[in-house]
Structure 1
Amino acid sequence: MGQSAGQVDREAQRILEQQQQQARDRAEQFEQSRSRPPAGGTIESQIAPVADNGSCVAVRNVRLAGADRYRAGTFEDALGTLRGDCVTIGAIDGVLRAITDRYVHDGFVTSRAVVGPQDLKSGILTITVIEGRLGGLKGAGSGKRYGGSEIAAAFPARPGGRLNLRALEQGVDQLGRMAKGDPKIDIAAGDTPGTSVVLVTRQPLARWIRPSVSINNEGAASTGRWQATKSLDMDSLLGIADSWLLYHQGAASDDGERRNLAYGGFVSLPHGWWTLSLSSGFSSYGSVLSGNGLRFATRGRTYTGAATLERMVFRDAKTKFSLTGGLALLDTRNFVQGIALQSSSYRIVTGTLGARWQRRLARTQLSLSEGYDQGLGLLDAHTVDTGPGGATGRYHRVTLDAAAQTPLTIGPSRLTNTLVLRGQWGFDNLFPANRFSLGGSSTVRGFRDDGISGRTGASLREQLGFGIVDVLKAQPHLATSFSGYLAYDVGGIRPVAGDPFERGLLQSMSAGLMARSRHVQAELTVAVPVTAPAWVRHPQALFSSSIRILL
């Protein structure tokens, strides 16, 4: 009986781990669908070189006026080259270009250094920097435009300040979080000399409200294999470039014993360099598990909530770096035969700090995210006493996510190589919802009903995608792109003394076929497990499928 109860307890914990992995996948998909990588382009100053006719002037001293953006002495080395008995026009032009290039490199694309009319008999040369100012931001274009409140919320730039391309790129990224349009900017001369007006245009891509339905067979056998999801994406409900996602997921069929339900939502609220992300969700399940000829009724429910504030602290043409901080709540209760599972019933509040770095290197897009999580005693957080060395809600954990994506062209073939590395290091024994879980479509394919988990682990996915064919390209509503991929997944859990199940290695090979059109997205995958611990149940080959219809 004890062995049977222990087996059922492990299976119940696996259900909870799967539900939490699904919740993390939804949050990651929401963020990825609304983030834009660095553009990777560079801008050169537009100053045409001046013809040097060989004439020169004597310069005893050089004065720099208007360069308020930089500290005194920033351009001293360049200015020093203009002191002499015979300074040519070409030398002066070279210094003007050097000063202007520095401004342009730092994003001040409308600033420039000039030499105005002056009497050089005194031997004093004055170089004036005209720091371009922002005269205003406004929606433009012949079709649907962005609203004034959307533009004000998205762009950190304000009229009267120096016009900086990085601030404009940030605003474009914030507007781009809404799928209703692709934002573009043009810079036009302002009404006042030295000012420019930024015209923000919207290329319509979709409606502001986008319902969809999807179905897949990636659910657990114990709670329902086929899962149906209804979701609703919405843009700018508050009129401030906010982005929303509401979802409802459940078993596609209910046999009275196996059931699962999940619903919730996400919202992203931009404010210039800042982005506030909020989420809330509820999930529940019911199942009948068997062990040693006995049947155990299990059920559980989980509430989650999170608030994350992100600050973009640095960006240039190829790099973005941001810092995040947040608070997350998880409240779960799980039962077997009506009796609460101590190891799976708790309320945990987590404080998070993180950093995210993105870099475009040639054609490769790199990203690296690091985080530190700590369990806190806030909001009535509580856990059961699991004894010395047992799981704790006041835990400490470090997480790491890294990815590299490179498009390749071999003859007529279009390839994309994607490498994804994930991991965490737990400094304490963790409850199931906080453990690193392996086995599933987002970690190691080929394992669905069983897997491994632990406080410390890592996974790696190497995937090569390739285009197959595009059909009906002349009809935008019917145009469909077919593609495929080959992948290798591997993941491991660091062994811990005293727990025979907190260890192991999973490996699999998989191949997939995808079809994507304006209204339909479908995927079919076959995965073959290669390596697994003896206690992990898995088929020789696992077929999974999904289809999503955009209404």
Structure 2
Amino acid sequence: MGGTNAGLRICRGLVVGLSLSYSAAQAQQANSGAPLRAIEDGLRREAERLRQADRLPEASALRPPESPAATAPDTVETPCFPIRTAELTGPDAANFAWVLTQGDLDHRSCLGVEGIRRLVSSLDQHLLSRGFATSKISLPEQNLASGHLLLRLHAGRIDTLEMRAAARGEGTDPAVLLRGRNAFPIAPGKLLNIRDVEQGVEQARRLPSTTVAVRLEPGGPPDTSQVVVEGNVPTLAERLRGGITVDNSGTAVLGRTQLAGNLALDNPLGLSDLVGISVNSNGEQLSSAHRSQSAAAYYSIPWGYDTFTVSGSQSRFAQYVQGTTARFLSSGTSATAEARWHHVAWRSASAKVGVQAAVSMRHARSYLDDTEVLVQRRRTTAFELGLTYKQLWAQSVFDGELALRRGVGWGKAQEDLVGAREGGPTLRPRVATFAASLATSFAAPSIPGPTTASGGPRNLQHTLAVRGQYSPDTTLSIDQIAIGGRGTVRGFTGDTVLLAEKGFYIRNELSGALPALWSASLEWFGAIDFGRVAGPSAALLPGRRLTGAAVGARGRARFLVFELALGVPVRRPAGFRGRSLVPTFSLSYLF
């Protein structure tokens, strides 16, 4: 939810709503057009709000890559031994054959005592870089005159995994709340890899109320370790969190004031799991004939390198729209459900790659004066495959995601529209979506001005974010990308958007800290955004590009999170309606 840390991963890449005709791809205005188009537009806006609130709490155990340690220059030792071959021995040697390809054997013709010691140290560092923190290389007794070097591998394994309560609140049961071994992809007898431990720490720390620390202690058998996971055991009140938000993201027709609330519970089953709900509604003149509302819920559970999430949402919209000869009550409802799986396929100390898959369903209806428009009833199913990537550097963080979504006929999905095979609008589009962000921190230039309390220069942060989609099909507006509004291209109200099958938007933001005011931490920001759409539907638009800018401030004071901004359109097509100044605000109370 806007301004809170407890968002929902609700139906990523899928939007709820009602899909109508090809002509609905024109610039959309909530207060004009046919009554059916107003329903489509209203439900599309609710879908966009859900997508922008599409966040589960996330933790990261990644750390910036370390600079390579300086090595002493090679020296000629006397005596030295010509090493022609090397052999790794030990019960697990076959699984670690790659270690010998990482050393300096190919670059040394003659090794002395110090050279062999440095070689072993180098191989140990390569083991550590792959996460085998307790595995070591040793030199058994041998005769090096043969030119054959024997190296013994001591593979570190896990003796036991123990969950300990570091502290617990009154009335809590650590046996239940520390049951979450499922978050850690480790088990007694397995090779100990620190990447597995880091994965478990990330999964456990997804819960905002949970703190976790891991300690390695000597195990009973040789070359083994006890993995001790210490975590706090919060009370029910600490595990329950939520927020209430008010902002002016609504439309001119239904009122700018928008209200939202969310509630989440950490660890309901003691499995490092999450459950949460959220609601959203217009806040002015609320009635059955004047509303834009949605409700959503999710449940997420980790299992080692996997995370499973199920979610669902319902939306409804209603407003009076003036037709050619009469006024109509246009209304619509939609419901979605999704099951999503995410798997971390590879990780290093500073990066990780994930794969994900999802199946989602959408059911939507539209009404004119309480009479359902049967030809506009929609029941669709979609399947999605995707990749995720996260990289941490010393001063930067990169997040990327690529997904392919395809409408399918699974379940009770309705048949595709007539004419879809001939290039007409389809209920089963092929859509590729992408998103990436790069956040970089750096010191402000050394110019006369205010400094931090420590006397150093103020730090600035630049955030570059891009999101877009591509489809080779002619799609209905519910499957298109829209630009223009606080969540896409700032400087526009969102009453009018550019909407088409293909497109992208880029958000640039520079921010920096402001002096604290009372107990509030503050920062300023300036932004300039750009977006473009294309595709068959773009031919009906007044233009294809938008550029906007905004300046503002955001901050936090205890339980309050707020943001104030003033946006301006920089570039827009002729005939694209909008305001010359767009003030925005958001105020959240977190508990």
Equivalent residue in structure 1 for 2:96, among 63, 70, 80: 70
Q: Match of 2:202?
A: 173
Alpha-carbon distance in 2 for matches of 1:156, 1:195: 17
Equivalent residue in structure 1 for 2:516, among 470, 487, 507: 470
Q: Residues 509-528 of structure 1: matches in 2 within 5 Å?
A: 509-528=549-568
Q: Match of 1:16?
A: 43
Q: Residues 132-147 of structure 1: matches in 2 within 5 Å?
A: 132-140=156-164, 142-144=166-168
Alpha-carbon distance in 2 for matches of 1:48, 1:540: 64
Q: Match of 1:229?
A: 260
Equivalent residue in structure 2 for 1:350, among 354, 364, 382: 382
Equivalent residue in structure 1 for 2:332, among 300, 303, 322: 300
1:29-66 Cα offsets, whole Å, 9 max, x none, are: 23xx3253732244989x999x9995556878754212
Alpha-carbon distance in 1 for matches of 2:374, 2:583: 35
Tell me how far 1:352 sits from its aligned partner.
Answer: 0.3
Contact 1:492 1:504 in 2 (8 A): yes
Is 1:428 paired with 2:454? no
Contact 1:217 1:546 in 2 (8 A): yes
Q: Residues 363-374 of structure 1: matches in 2 within 5 Å?
A: 363-374=395-406
Q: Residues 259-408 of structure 1: matches in 2 within 5 Å?
A: 259-290=291-322, 294-340=326-372, 345-382=377-414, 385=417, 387=419, 389-408=423-442
Alpha-carbon distance in 2 for matches of 1:417, 1:170: 28
Tell me how far 1:5 sits from its aligned partner.
Answer: 8.8
Is 1:536 paired with 2:576? yes
Alpha-carbon distance in 1 for matches of 2:147, 2:427: 74
Contact 2:293 2:317 in 1 (8 A): yes
Contact 1:62 1:127 in 2 (8 A): yes
Q: Match of 1:249?
A: 280
Contact 2:254 2:284 in 1 (8 A): no
1:135-191 Cα offsets, whole Å, 9 max, x none, are: 233234642479686541111122211111111111111112111124332322223
Alpha-carbon distance in 1 for matches of 2:318, 2:97: 66
Bigger shift: 297-306 or 220-229?
220-229
Bigger shift: 519-528 or 383-392?
383-392
Is 1:489 paired with 2:515? no
Which secondary structure does the structure 1 equivalent of 2:333 belong to?
Answer: strand
1:329-386 Cα offsets, whole Å, 9 max, x none, are: 1111122334555785311111001111122244121122111110000121126745
1:283-302 Cα offsets, whole Å, 9 max, x none, are: 11111123568422111111
Tell me how far 1:202 sits from its aligned partner.
Answer: 3.5
Tell me how far 1:91 sits from its aligned partner.
Answer: 1.9
1:399-441 Cα offsets, whole Å, 9 max, x none, are: 1111111012215222111111111111212222211112222
Alpha-carbon distance in 1 for matches of 2:323, 2:496: 15
Equivalent residue in structure 2 for 1:211, among 242, 249, 263: 242
Cα 1:25–1:73, aligned 2, differ >3 Å: closer, same or farther?
closer
Contact 1:344 1:432 in 2 (8 A): no
Tell me how far 1:200 sits from its aligned partner.
Answer: 2.4
Contact 2:99 2:126 in 1 (8 A): no
Alpha-carbon distance in 1 for matches of 2:425, 2:332: 19
Tell me how far 1:480 sits from its aligned partner.
Answer: 2.4
Q: Match of 1:475?
A: none
Structure 1 gaps, min length 5: 473-478
Is 1:441 paired with 2:441? no
Alpha-carbon distance in 2 for matches of 1:293, 1:486: 47
Bigger shift: 163-172 or 441-450?
441-450
Cα 1:339–1:175, aligned 2, differ >3 Å: closer, same or farther?
same
Alpha-carbon distance in 1 for matches of 2:50, 2:103: 56
Identity among equivalent pairs (%) = 23
Alpha-carbon distance in 1 for matches of 2:156, 2:290: 65
Cα 1:500–1:78, aligned 2, differ >3 Å: closer, same or farther?
closer
Which secondary structure does the structure 2 equivalent of 1:102 belong to?
Answer: helix
Q: TM-score, normalised by structure 1?
A: 0.88
Which secondary structure does the structure 2 equivalent of 1:100 belong to?
Answer: helix
Is 1:106 paired with 2:125? no
Tell me how far 1:321 sits from its aligned partner.
Answer: 0.6
Q: TM-score, normalised by structure 2?
A: 0.82
**Aligned partner letter, 2:474:** N
Alpha-carbon distance in 2 for matches of 1:7, 1:400: 32
Contact 1:347 1:383 in 2 (8 A): no
Structure 2 gaps, min length 5: 1-22, 25-30, 169-173, 447-456
Which secondary structure does the structure 1 equivalent of 2:436 belong to?
Answer: strand
Alpha-carbon distance in 2 for matches of 1:264, 1:390: 32
Which secondary structure does the structure 1 equivalent of 2:425 belong to?
Answer: coil
Cα 1:191–1:52, aligned 2, differ >3 Å: closer, same or farther?
farther
Tell me how far 1:217 sits from its aligned partner.
Answer: 1.6
**Aligned partner letter, 1:458:** F
Alpha-carbon distance in 2 for matches of 1:421, 1:375: 24
Q: Residues 444-455 of structure 1: matches in 2 within 5 Å?
A: 444-445=489-490, 446-455=492-501
Tell me how far 1:465 sits from its aligned partner.
Answer: 1.4
Alpha-carbon distance in 1 for matches of 2:248, 2:154: 62
Which secondary structure does the structure 2 equivalent of 1:267 belong to?
Answer: strand
Alpha-carbon distance in 1 for matches of 2:39, 2:583: 24
Alpha-carbon distance in 1 for matches of 2:395, 2:189: 37
Alpha-carbon distance in 1 for matches of 2:589, 2:314: 24
Tell me how far 1:495 sits from its aligned partner.
Answer: 4.7
Alpha-carbon distance in 1 for matches of 2:396, 2:338: 32
Equivalent residue in structure 1 for 2:155, among 117, 128, 131: 131
RMSD: 3.4
Alpha-carbon distance in 2 for matches of 1:343, 1:401: 34
Contact 1:345 1:383 in 2 (8 A): no
Which secondary structure does the structure 2 equivalent of 1:93 belong to?
Answer: helix
1:295-322 Cα offsets, whole Å, 9 max, x none, are: 2211111101111111111111222111
Bigger shift: 390-399 or 320-329?
390-399
Contact 2:318 2:331 in 1 (8 A): yes
Tell me how far 1:72 sits from its aligned partner.
Answer: 7.4
Bigger shift: 243-252 or 196-205?
196-205
1:465-487 Cα offsets, whole Å, 9 max, x none, are: 11112355xxxxxx421112111
Alpha-carbon distance in 2 for matches of 1:292, 1:311: 53
Contact 1:21 1:437 in 2 (8 A): no
Is 1:94 paired with 2:125? no
Contact 1:62 1:82 in 2 (8 A): no
**Aligned partner letter, 2:253:** S
Cα 1:189–1:73, aligned 2, differ >3 Å: closer, same or farther?
closer
**Aligned partner letter, 1:98:** S
**Aligned partner letter, 1:482:** L
Cα 1:426–1:64, aligned 2, differ >3 Å: closer, same or farther?
closer
Tell me how far 1:547 sits from its aligned partner.
Answer: 1.2
Bigger shift: 193-202 or 127-136?
193-202
**Aligned partner letter, 1:382:** Q
Q: Match of 2:504?
A: 458
